[in-house]
Amino acid sequence: MPLQICRTSAPKPHIPDAELGFGHVFTDHMLLMDYTPETGWHQARIEPYGPFSLEPATIVLHYGQSIFDGLKAFRTPSDDVVLFRPQRHLKRLNTSAARLCIPPLDETLTLGALQELVRLDTDWVPRTPSCSLYIRPTLIATDPTLGVHPSRTYRFFVIMSPVGAYYPEGFKPVKILVEDRYVRAVSGGLGAAKTPANYAASLLAAEEARAQGFTQVLWLDGIAHRYIEEVGSMNIFFVIDDELVTPPLDGSILDGVTRDSVITLAHSWGIRVAERRIGIDDILAAHGAGKLTEVFGTGTAAVISPVCELFYKGHAIIINDRKVGPWTQRIYDALTAIQWGISPDPFGWIVSVKQS
Ligand SMILES: Cc1ncc(COP(=O)(O)O)c(C=O)c1O
C-alpha cells in the first residue's frame, strides 16, 4: 500500500525540553488509515496533525469500540532515533483488536508507516537525555449507527507527543492504596486488552485514592478481591525472599512490554522470577516475616515506579524503609540504558527509524 505524505505548511514552535510534561504537546504530523470490508485497510497517509470530524452517531462515541497502545522513541547519544520494541506493541494492538471485534492491521506495513512518521517529525524527538517521544496508535469504530454490534468501518491513527523526563530529580517512590471496593477488570472481561473502557473503569478509584494522599491504587481481582493484579496502569513486581514475583497473565491483566522486558533482563542475570498468583494476605505475611524487600510498577511512561507504601484496610505496609531498593535501581538503570542507546541491546529490542 503506498503511503501518501502531505507535509504541514505551518510547523509549530517547539517547547523547551525542560517544560515538557506528559501528553500536552503534539508533533506536526499524524498517520491515518481507514478500513472498509470491501477494501480492507487502505489510504495510508501522513497529514498535518489536526482535528477530524465524526458524526455524533459514530459507534466509538457510544459503545467504546476502540483500542490503543503506547510506545516510545528515543534519541541516542549518536543522534540516531530508535523505537523500543515496536513489533511487540503492534502485536499487542492486534491482540486488543481481536478482543474488540476490530480487523487486524498488517504489522509490518504499519511499522514501516510508523517509522516514516517518526522520520518526518524527527526534530520533535527531544535531545535532552531521558526525555522521549511518546507514540499513541489508536483504532476507532466509525460506523454512524446506534445499533450495538461491531462497526463495519474503522479509522487507525497515530499521534505523537514529546514528553519530559519522568524523574527529573531522581526516583520518587510512591504511596499506593490497596483498592478493596472497586475493580478494574475480571477474568473473561476486557482487562487484557488496551481499550478505553478499562481506563474509564479506573478513574473513580484513582480520584478517591488521590484525595486520600495516594498516588495510585493497587487493583485486586474482581472475584475474591484478594489476588493482586496491577498498580494503576502499570504491571507490578515484588521482591520476596530474593525472588522477583509478578502476577500471571490470566486474562484480566495487560501483557506489559516493560513487564516482559524486566522478566527477560532478570532471567539474563540469573535472578529467580515467578509469575504466580499472589494474594494481599501473602504480601502482609511476607512483610511481617521481613521477606518483602522491594515493590515496583512497570510501564512505558515511567519504565519503573518504586513503591514505598501499600495501605490496606487501615494498615500501612512500609517497604524498604521508603527507599528505592537495589533491584529496582538496577533494573531501571539497565532498561533505560538500552532504551537510550547508552548500553548494547543484546535482546534486539531497539529499532532505528533510519531508512535501511
Ligand atoms: C493497564 C496497564 N497495565 C500495564 C501497562 C504497562 O504496559 P507497558 O509496559 O507495555 O507500557 C499499561 C501501560 O501501557 C497499562 O495501561
Residues contacting residue 317 through CB under 8 Å, at least 6 positions apart: 283, 284, 287, 292, 309, 310, 311
Name the average pLDDT for the chain.
Answer: 96
Contact indicator for 304, 268 with CB cutoff of 8 Å: no
Strand locations in 4-63, DSSP E? Answer: 4-5, 29-36, 40-48
Residues 125-145 have a mean pLDDT of 96
Q: How far is the CA of 24 from the centre of ligand 1 (A)?
A: 20
- Position 165 pLDDT exceeds 90: no
Ligand 1 neighbourhood includes 234 CB (under 6 angstroms): yes
Confidence of residue 354 (pLDDT cuts 50, 70, 90): confident
Q: How far is the CA of 337 from the centre of ligand 1 (A)?
A: 20
Q: What are 62's three cell numbers?
A: 457510544
Task: Render pLDDT for 63-116 as a digit per residue (tens, 0 to 9).
Answer: 999 999 999 999 999 999 999 999 999 999 999 999 999 999 999 999 999 999
Task: Render pLDDT for 5-34 as a digit per residue (tens, 0 to 9).
Answer: 999 999 999 999 999 989 999 999 999 999
Residues 282-299 have a mean pLDDT of 97
Task: Render pLDDT for 201-246 as a digit per residue (tens, 0 to 9).
Answer: 999 999 999 999 999 999 999 999 999 999 999 999 999 999 999 9
Confidence of residue 129 (pLDDT cuts 50, 70, 90): confident
**pLDDT computed for residue 168 by the predictor:** 75
Ligand 1 neighbourhood includes 159 CB (under 6 angstroms): no
Contact indicator for 137, 68 with CB cutoff of 8 Å: yes
Confidence of residue 356 (pLDDT cuts 50, 70, 90): low
Ligand 1 neighbourhood includes 235 CB (under 6 angstroms): yes
**pLDDT computed for residue 169 by the predictor:** 73
Instruction: Name the residue among 250, 252, 235, 154 with its Cα closest to residue 201.
Output: 252
For 68, phi and psi rounded to 5 degrees? -155, 175
Confidence of residue 166 (pLDDT cuts 50, 70, 90): confident
- Position 355 pLDDT exceeds 80: no
Question: Helix, strand or coil for residue 115?
Answer: helix
Closest residue by Cα to atom 15, ligand 1, is: 233
The DSSP string of 187-254 is TTSSTTS--HHHHHHHHHHHHHHHHTT-SEEEEEPTTTS-BEEEETTBEEEEEETTEEEE----SSS-
Ligand 1 neighbourhood includes 179 CB (under 6 angstroms): no
Q: How far is the CA of 297 from the centre of ligand 1 (A)?
A: 10
- Position 297 pLDDT exceeds 90: yes
Task: Render pLDDT for 146-160 as a digit per residue (tens, 0 to 9).
Answer: 999 999 999 999 999
Closest residue by Cα to atom 7, ligand 1, is: 256
Contact indicator for 126, 132 with CB cutoff of 8 Å: yes
Residues 164-182 have a mean pLDDT of 89
